[in-house]
Structures are given as C-alpha cells and as structure tokens.
Amino acid sequence: MSVKLETLKRLVEKPFTTPYPFVKPPVPAGLRGKPEIVVNEKPDPARLACPAHLDIRGYVRKIVEGDYEGSLELIRQKVCLPASLGRTCNHPCEEMCKRNYGEEEPVADAWLKRFVADWVYQKKRERGEPLLKKPVRTKNQDPQKKVAVVGAGPSGLQVAYDLAYLGYPVTVFEALPEPGGMLRYGVPRYKLPLDVLRSEIEAIAALGVEFRTGVRIGRDISLADLRGMGYKAIFIGIGSHISRKLRVQGEELKGVWGGIDFLRALNLGEKIDLGKKAIVVGGGNVAIDVARCAIRLGAEVQLVCLESREEMPAHAWEITEACEEGMTILHRRAPRKVLGKNGRVTGVELIGVKSVFDSEGRFNPVLDESTHEVIPCDSVLIAIGQMADLSVLGEERSQFQLTRGDTLIAVDPDSGATSVAGVFAEGEVIRGPSTIIESLAGGRRASLAIDRYLSGSNEGNPFVDEYDYGRDLKALDITAERRYMFLREEAWQKKRVPMPMLSPEERKTNFKEVYLGYTEEMARNEARRCLSCYKCVGCELCLKYCPANAIELKLDPQKEDVYWNDTAWKATGPPVIRLLQCVMCQMCEEVCRCGMYHLTSEYELCFTGAVDPEQIRVQARSE
C-alpha cells in the first residue's frame, strides 16, 4: 500500500487519541500521533530549581571535558561569588537531581562549583592575572548615572558586580568594618575561610566598584543625602542582623546572647567566654552554626528545640556533623524562663511541647505546662530567627510600603522596585532570612531592573522572562521495576564521590575549614555522574531497547561515551523518530536517563531538544 507523504503529514498534524491499549485504535499504529517539538532547549531540573538559574548541566559538563575556565565562566554569568557560594549554598538544585531517588545520591553541584572556582583562581594567581576580567561594555558609561548600594552582603555585591559590568559607577555603603554582610559576619570561618571571601570581594572592587565601610545609612547618611550626592538609583540590600528574642523572663541576664549577635562578635574577633556549659535555643541552621562555634570555644553544648529530629528545619547533614562534634539535643522542649543569680545566667527552665505544627502544617506550637525541667548552664544562645533593621529608611520610612508587620520592605516581585521611585530592594530586607543563593539571585534580578530604569527601557526583566515553566517541581518518580532495565547498565551505577573532611576530633578544637575540597580527579569523576537531563549524550539506550527500531541517532565515531571515558558527548544532534514505525510503547521514555522523551497523551510523543521542527521526519515503512 502506498501513502502520499502529504496525507501522512495531515494525519500526523491531527492525531487520534483513543485510550490504547484498552480500545483498538482506528488507525495504524504509526499514525497515532505527532512529535511535539520544544524548539528552545528545556532547562534541566537542577537549573529550574536554582534561584539564580545557574546552567548547572553546562558547567558540570565542562568539568568533565576539562574546561574549568569555561565552567567558571558559565557560573559567573549568574553569580559573583562562586568560591564562597560553593562552600555555603544549600544547593536546592541537588534536590531535583535525577539521581536523588532510591539509594542514589545527587550530583554534588555545589562542591563542583567550589572546585572550579578554587582551581581557576589558583591558576590565575600563579600567572599573575586578576580573578575577574575588566568590564568591556561601554553603553552606559555615563558618570551621571551613579548607583548607590546600601549593604555589602550577597545581594548588594551581586548588584555592584552586575552594574559594574554594565558600565555604571557604583558605590557600596556598608555599616560594618568590612564588606561581605552575612558571609563575613554570620557564616562561621570553618565553613567559609576569610581569605576566600576577601579575594572575591577584592576582585569586585577591582572592577571599579567603590566600597565605603563604617557608614550606616539612616544614621550617618540619609537616603535623601544619597540623592543629593547625585545617585540616580539606590539599592537596599541589608541583611537580617537583629536577633529575635524569646520574650521570656531572664532574657536580659549576662550570659544571654542572640544567635546572630554571637556569630557577629565572634567574626569580629571579640573574646567570648561561654563558661563550661552553653544552651543553644533553636532548631534551624543558624542554631547549628552557633552550637558548633560554641563547641570550638570549649563549651559543652546542648541544643534545645521545639521540634523532633525529623521536624527540625536545619539541614540533616549539619545536625549530624554537630552531633559528631559533641552537641546533644533536647527535642520537644521550650524555654519558660532563663534562671540567674547576681545578674548572671545559672540555668534554663524548660517545659514540654506537645506539637509544633497544626493540622494544616502551620507553625503553631502547643506547650505542655504540666512538664518542666531545669538545665544548669553558664550561657544561653538564642537562635530562633532574625530580622532586618529598617532604620536604614530614616525619615522616609513612611513613604515606603512595608509588609509582614512592618518588618520588611514591599517590592515588585519582578524587579525589586519599592514604592519610592528609583529605590530598589532585595535579599533579606524583603523576604526575611534567606539562603545565599536566594540573595544572589535577588541581586541579579534587581540589577537588571535598575539597568532598565536608568536606560529608560520598557522591556521585561530578562531574569524573570528567562523561563516560563512554573516552580512546582518534584523529584523524578520511577518505580524499581522501571529503573531496573537501565540501571543495570554499568555506566549508570556511579556512587557519589565523598568530600574529604576533617575528623570530628580534629575540627572541634579550631575553626579550620571542615570540607577540604575535591581533587581534580575527584571532581571529574563526580561530574561524570551527571545524566545531562534533557540533552542527549548518545548513550544509545533508546536504540537498544526500542522494539520497533523507530529511532535514528547520529553519533560521532571519533568520540567515546563520556560515562566511560574522558571525552565529550558523542551525540551530534537530537534523535529522529520514525513515526510510522513508532508503536508508542513508551520504552524510550522509560530508559532515557536524560529525559529526552515524554508521552504527553496516549498518542502524542513530546521530544525535548534544541531542534528545528523540520528535523523530525515522517518516513514510510518502505524507507
């Protein structure tokens, strides 16, 4: 039987979608559907999960190929502090990694980021080169379009970095003695060595960014003063440097610390005596940081929190490492009062906690007044949250729209623009305590908006418009039966490369960096675990398991598969599906570890890739 190609194409354009296999289809199997083409390559799940939209698949691939400078360049297109971020990021990207199910572990994206930054920086220092290239853009080099950045934390540094490359004169005002914000004064040195952070900030200063430290906006200089000094746009990026209080009796006693106040004093080099035993109140990451620092100061540390171990908001690995260092935890307890004598702490009275969250998952603790206990201690460190100091707004505070009980600045979510013309805000001052990557992403969003504001552009924010995919992502759900077929391939079975680290006994007596970093060999082995989501690598599993021989894949014979060897991806383009041979069995979707195929309905095959629709061919069986 001969069929005209035009007839086939018309049938393909309007596919039948009967619920096969339960109902016999009225047309031959090969005419049941059409490939739906996504012309623009779909971002991988890790990139969608990253607040800064880092091209994670891209920079990991370049590590495999040995192109470390190219890998770092991809990272620096989005964030200004790759070495610092690689040490402090909470890596939401890893939660979306396709390896993050069953007994597997995700690709160590953050540790790989740290590796390439450290490796490239070291080589640049050996060659006597600056860490960053000088800005080359000139379109906005107008000395009249000055920008003031208030706060030298992650979001402020990102704004300064981006706008410097766009050609704007930028001055950063910082109340504390050094720039860095929470990275400098809130993150312990065992996580982020000071020389790593300083080198990255110095590189930003070398771009022409001016830093004025020890200047508190709202006290020393007002926002109106900044306008009078000729700044055409103002960015507010202050962090949450005020510790929240318990509001219990005895909180004013000597020996009681706010968690963030304690970390700041420690990072400023102040001598702190916590005594023999310290109680840390809180269950989040800041509480764990405080506890681990207290251990390093020689105190016996007990953490008191409302939550059970499973409910604690702190990262599981942080809790584990703190316990390895000697921290103990009292779960389901709440401080009732701080006890003292002669104006100094002597202990804490605790009561029980029946539940922390209500039936809808909202924070709503129910206390048990019938149970109580007293824990003797010499100091109490309260790490239950922090907030921003809005005194930065000064006399103009009434002009700003505020939110969350007047503790945060309200902004346009797409641009960071406040209710006051020419003033933008991002980071913790608009959303409360945030992760480093969230603050960097917010800074990039605001810097692009400031550029549009100063240049008079009405175009949408390229950061916001970058993707239109929604954020309700879930980890890939594949049953053990479906996984077996392709996981038995030896190439896919690669365990995560562990990070070398100091032993608990070694690390609890000092502030040396705990994680020692990947070697080059370790980094490349870990990078090879990446499954290159939504980008064909030419592994040929779809060819091997397609029962109808309906897939054509062009391969470069000069290249070996990256999962076995040290060479580049061998696929020269996306697969071509022979539609008339395809029986829509969904086998290609099941075996493809890259997520290139997806059955969108009974007879519609969605193919993801950077392809021209003309590349999808309809072939007669005689071909």
Tell me the backbone φ, ψ of residue 362, rounded to 5 degrees: -85, 150
Tell me the C-alpha distance between 441 and 443, whole Å.
Answer: 5
Helical residues (DSSP H) of 383-478, grouped into ranges: 428-431, 436-455, 462-465
Q: Is the pLDDT higher at 365 or at 20?
A: 365
User: Cβ distance 590 to 484 under 8 Å?
Assistant: no
Q: Is the pLDDT higher at 498 or at 465?
A: 498
Please give the torsion angle defined by the CA atoms of residues 66, 502, 321 and 180, in that order, rounded to the nearest 10 degrees.
-70
Determine the average pLDDT of the residues in 579-602. 70
Compute how many other C-beta atoms are within 10 angstroms of the C-beta atom of residue 219: 11
pLDDT of residue 575: 74
Q: How confident is the model at residue 607 (pLDDT cuts 50, 70, 90)?
A: low
Q: Is the dihedral of CA 322, 324, 327, 332 positive or negative?
A: positive
On the question of pLDDT at 133 being above 90, the answer is no
User: Cβ distance 423 to 223 under 8 Å?
Assistant: yes
CATH 3.50.50.60 fits 243-384, yes or no: yes
Percent of the chain residues past pLDDT 90, beyond the cut: 63
On the question of pLDDT at 392 being above 80, the answer is yes
pLDDT of residue 618: 36
Q: How confident is the model at residue 576 (pLDDT cuts 50, 70, 90)?
A: confident
589, 563, 620, 622: which is closest to 5 by C-alpha? 620
User: Which residue(s) pair with 597 in the sheet?
Assistant: 607
In order of 51, 52, 95, 237, 513, the CA distances from 48 in angstroms are 8, 9, 11, 24, 30
Give the DSSP per-residue string, 29-49: GGGS--EEEESSPPPPHHHHH
At 274-322, the pLDDT tens digits run 999 999 999 999 999 999 999 999 999 999 999 999 999 999 999 999 9
Q: How confident is the model at residue 606 (pLDDT cuts 50, 70, 90)?
A: low
Determine the average pLDDT of the residues in 209-227. 97
- CATH 1.10.1060.10 positions along the chain are 45-129+478-521
Tell me the C-alpha distance between 337 and 246, whole Å.
Answer: 9
526-540, 562-576, 602-616: which range is least confident on average? 602-616
Q: Is the pLDDT higher at 480 or at 182?
A: 182
Distance from the first to the final alpha carbon of the chain: 13
Residues 6 or more apart whose CB falls under 8 angstroms from that of 476 comprise 45, 98, 101
SS3 of residue 291 by DSSP: helix
Q: What top-level class would CATH report for the domain 45-129+478-521?
A: mainly alpha
Percent of the chain residues past pLDDT 70, beyond the cut: 78
Tell me the C-alpha distance between 427 and 425, whole Å.
Answer: 7
Q: Is the pLDDT higher at 586 or at 472?
A: 586
Q: Is the pLDDT higher at 455 or at 608?
A: 455
pLDDT of residue 549: 84
Q: Which strands make up the sheet holding 170-174, listed edge to edge?
A: 210-213, 170-174, 146-150, 231-236, 423-425
Tell me the C-alpha distance between 496 and 105, whole Å.
Answer: 6
Tell me the C-alpha distance between 50 and 6, whole Å.
Answer: 44
User: Cβ distance 603 to 15 under 8 Å?
Assistant: yes
Q: Count how many Cα atoms sit within 13 Å of the Cα of residue 11 in the half-sphere of its side chain.
A: 19
Give the DSSP per-residue string, 58-107: HHHHHHHTT-HHHHHHHHHTT-S-HHHHHHH---HHHHT-TTSSTT----
Q: Is the pLDDT higher at 99 or at 341?
A: 341
Compute how many other C-beta atoms are within 10 angstroms of the C-beta atom of residue 257: 23
Tell me the C-alpha distance between 532 and 529, whole Å.
Answer: 9
SS3 of residue 234 by DSSP: strand
At 485-504, the pLDDT tens digits run 344 444 455 789 999 999 99
Helical residues (DSSP H) of 548-586, grouped into ranges: none
39-53, 182-196, 539-553: which range is least confident on average? 39-53
pLDDT of residue 558: 58
Q: How confident is the model at residue 138 (pLDDT cuts 50, 70, 90)?
A: low
- CATH 3.50.50.60 positions along the chain are 146-241+388-465, 243-384
Residue 30, class by beta-carbon neighbours within 10 Å (0-12 exposed, 13-18 middle, 19+ buried)?
Answer: buried
Average pLDDT, the chain: 83
SS3 of residue 257 by DSSP: strand
75, 64, 113, 58: which is closest to 91 by C-alpha? 113
Q: How confident is the model at residue 204 (pLDDT cuts 50, 70, 90)?
A: very high
Read off the amino acid at residue 451. D
Residues 6 or more apart whose CB falls under 8 angstroms from that of 467 comprise 43, 48, 53
Q: How confident is the model at residue 619 (pLDDT cuts 50, 70, 90)?
A: very low
Q: Count how many Cα atoms sit within 13 Å of the Cα of residue 222 in the half-sphere of its side chain.
A: 7
Determine the average pLDDT of the residues in 318-335. 97
Q: Count how many Cα atoms sit within 13 Å of the Cα of residue 385 in the half-sphere of its side chain.
A: 12
- Long-range contact list for 568-574, CB < 8 A, 24+ apart? 568/64, 568/65, 569/61, 569/532, 569/535, 569/536, 569/537, 569/538, 570/537, 570/538, 571/536, 571/537, 571/538, 572/538, 573/536, 573/611, 573/615, 574/536, 574/607, 574/609, 574/610, 574/611, 574/615
At 72-123, the pLDDT tens digits run 999 999 999 999 999 999 999 998 887 876 667 899 999 999 999 999 999 9
Q: Is the pLDDT higher at 468 or at 402?
A: 402
On the question of pLDDT at 269 being above 90, the answer is yes
20-24, 136-140, 163-167, 552-556: which range is least confident on average? 20-24
User: Cβ distance 309 to 318 under 8 Å?
Assistant: no
pTM of the model: 0.83
E strand intervals along 292-392: 300-304, 328-330, 333-341, 344-357, 363-376, 379-382, 386-387
Determine the average pLDDT of the residues in 257-265. 98
CA 229 to chain centre: 36
At 439-458, the pLDDT tens digits run 999 999 999 999 999 988 77
* Residue matched to tokens 């129910």: 366
pLDDT of residue 489: 47
Which CATH number among 3.20.20.70, 3.50.50.60, 3.20.20.140, 3.10.105.10 corresponds to the domain 146-241+388-465? Answer: 3.50.50.60
- Long-range contact list for 139-142, CB < 8 A, 24+ apart? 139/166, 139/167, 140/166, 140/167, 140/168, 140/451, 140/454, 140/455, 141/167, 142/167
pLDDT of residue 551: 82
Q: Count how many Cα atoms sit within 13 Å of the Cα of residue 145 in the half-sphere of its side chain.
A: 17
Q: Is the pLDDT higher at 623 or at 45?
A: 45
Tell me the C-alpha distance between 234 and 151, whole Å.
Answer: 11
Question: Crossing angle for the helix pair 109-127 and 56-64, nearest 10 degrees?
Answer: 60
Q: How confident is the model at residue 464 (pLDDT cuts 50, 70, 90)?
A: low
Tell me the C-alpha distance between 361 and 347, whole Å.
Answer: 32
Tell me the C-alpha distance between 597 and 611, whole Å.
Answer: 13
Read off the amino acid at residue 110. A
